[in-house]
């Protein structure tokens, strides 16, 4: 936030920026340490809307396909709005026996 302004809460405390979970989306929000009231700044709300759009695009069941001697997944073309392009490097990490994480670099 600009100029480190403090946002007051009705309980008398001051909001602090923390990572919270709305629905299944992790995002930055302003949280009161006294009463745990959560609100979003304009920038945080814009970021949350963009993350929600990303979830709507990517959250789906997909089939593994055969590409030569390898396996692959297809991703929706709409992900280009978020900087995903053919040839872009990604990082994969095994989380459990049945899941893995894909991170864009």
What average pLDDT does the chain have? 88
* CA 37 – CA 7 distance, rounded (Å): 12
Claim: this prediction has a pTM higher than 0.85: no
Residue 65 pLDDT greater than 60, yes or no? yes
Question: For residue 71, which of 80, 59, 62 has the smallest C-alpha distance?
Answer: 62
Sequence-ordered list of residues with C-beta below 8 angstroms from that of 63, at least 6 positions apart, any chain: none
Radius of gyration over every alpha carbon of the chain, rounded to an integer in angstroms: 19
Q: What is the set of domains in the chain, with CATH numbers?
A: 2-58 (3.10.20), 65-104 (no CATH)
Residue 53 pLDDT greater than 60, yes or no? yes
Give the model's confidence band at 1: pLDDT under 50 very low, under 70 low, under 90 confident, else very high: very low
Instruction: Give the mean model confidence (pLDDT) for residues 59-78.
Output: 91
């Amino acid at each position: 936030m600009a100029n480190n302004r403090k946002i007051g809460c009705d309980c008398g405390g001051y909001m602090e920026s923390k990572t919270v979970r709305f629905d299944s989306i992790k995002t930055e929000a302003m949280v009161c340490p006294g009463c745990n009231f959560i609100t979003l700044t304009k920038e945080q709300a814009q970021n949350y809307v963009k993350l929600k759009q990303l979830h709507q695009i990517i959250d789906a069941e997909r089939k593994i396909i055969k590409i030569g001697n390898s396996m692959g997944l297809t991703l929706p073309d709409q992900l280009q709005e978020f900087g995903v392009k053919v040839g872009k490097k990604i990082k994969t990490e095994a989380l459990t026996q049945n899941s893995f994480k894909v991170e864009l670099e």
